[in-house]
Structure 1
Amino acid sequence: MKTILSRSFAVLFVVLLSFSSIAIFRVKAQSFMTIIIDTDGSIDPINSSIKHIGNTYTLTKDIKGSIEVLSNDITIDGNGYTLQGDESSTGIDIKHKDEVTIKNLTITNHFIGIKLSALRLIPNFEPPHEVGHGTSISNNTILNNDIGVLGDADHDTIFSGNYIVDNRIGIDSSDSVRPVFSENQFLNNEESFLFNPSAYMDESNVVDGIPVATPTPTPTISPEPTPSPTPTSSPTSELEFPTTLVVASVVILGIGALGILTFYKKYKRRT
């Protein structure tokens, strides 16, 4: 009897230990990780579910964590996978870098899905080289974040073909310079987008089924100058003779006087 009980307890212990191992493995598998794409293009940590070929970084499975970008001129290809956050994280943080492309990725459950930061040493001053220039965000699903995308002094960022769904704010580019929007779908966001007058959005963008676009400035048309009327002179008096008539009269009188004087001289000689 004791032998049977001992064996039963042994089997139960092994089963419980197996379940505990599985649970621990699951916790470890779901733990949050921060992946850094460094200035030299290397990935830290190396085993981070991202494959690196040239300037392209491709996800090989879903990741719970965030990605910090410290390198210029790279492409992050989500390859259809998901970058999941912990509600307080930033999904992809691009720190003062140029020509970064993010595509084919689902970004969800972060405080900020994508943050675009440019180096701005002096407020409201644009340096000759616009750091944080030329980022492209295309064909992504940005879902259930507090802020889907936040621009911070970035320049000429292109948003195309993205699905921005169930965020508090879809895209906040109010502090960005010249962002361009095309073929994006905004759905069920509390605030779909915020931007300043330098933004361009055409009617291929749709908010809750309605096409939207930034207003096109109305060209200012200068009024044609009104021709001034030609002034007409009026006589100073209705009884005043025209100048030509007066001159003609004087000439005629002069000729007449000259004729009379000539006739008088001839007549006097004869007598």
Structure 2
Amino acid sequence: MGAKRNGASIRRRILARRLRELREQAGFTLEAAAPLLDTSMSRLSRIENGQQKADVHLVKSMLDLFDVGGVQWTELLELAREAAKPAWYRAYGLGDNSYVGFETEATQVQEYASGFVPGLLQVAEYSRVLYEASPLPRSAEDRERDLAVRMIRQERLQSDDDPLQLVAIIDAAVLRNPVGGRAVHRAQLAHLKTASEWPLVSLQVLPSGQGVHPALASGFLVLSFSHLGEPDMAYVEHALGATNLWKEPDVTLARLKFDRLRTLALAPGESRDMICRLAGEL
């Protein structure tokens, strides 16, 4: 169920890092390499930072200049082709550096949700209510586009070809908040109960009355890219926007906080029972 959709964000980062390493190993500075490659130093810098696509012809020129051949030549050209492919979410107006771009290539998402149900577990009406309540000026068409993207992302939770593992911790207050009214609330709780039984989903509830805990300030996510050999990424959404965190100390702290929250949360079975109990009260 659900064929793999293409993404480019992480592959672009991998290619950028490897090209930068090859240039440095070959003893070239950016200033020296750029004119030899018939490009500008600023463009080469953006490519090496993963901010701009590197076309296959330029990558070939770089590999020639840096005296790279054999298996490495073949691997890097294939990586360049993969990184240059238009990602599926571009058709919905999203860029490669959007959260969706990174999630597309992740194998696991760990999320602590403190304000609302994780997007990957929201029913359509719940998502629609949140989009309509957003202070960002968006047309009805834009909101429906964003909703379509969210529904597409959710398919991976039941995909055989492109699976995404979700480990979610939801604050109990989120489950009691009747977003969208009683009918939407009931449908959302029913969906959480169903999704908690899927093999790729682990769902735990953080009960009320914890006092001080590691993530009082906000929810957060940790994305893993184990199949690509890339380090994890942390992501934090807040009232004024969102932040991607790549530095190892930041990501390590996020992982430690998440692990601590898992020990404080109810076990998956107990969490499912709580969700069923709350649904029965509606």
Shorter-chain TM-score tier: under 0.3
TM-score (norm 1): 0.23
The structure with the larger Rg is 1
Structure 2 length-normalised TM: 0.22
More helix by share: 2
Structure number with the bigger relative contact order (C-alpha 8 A, sep ≥ 6) is: 2
Larger strand share, 1 or 2: 1
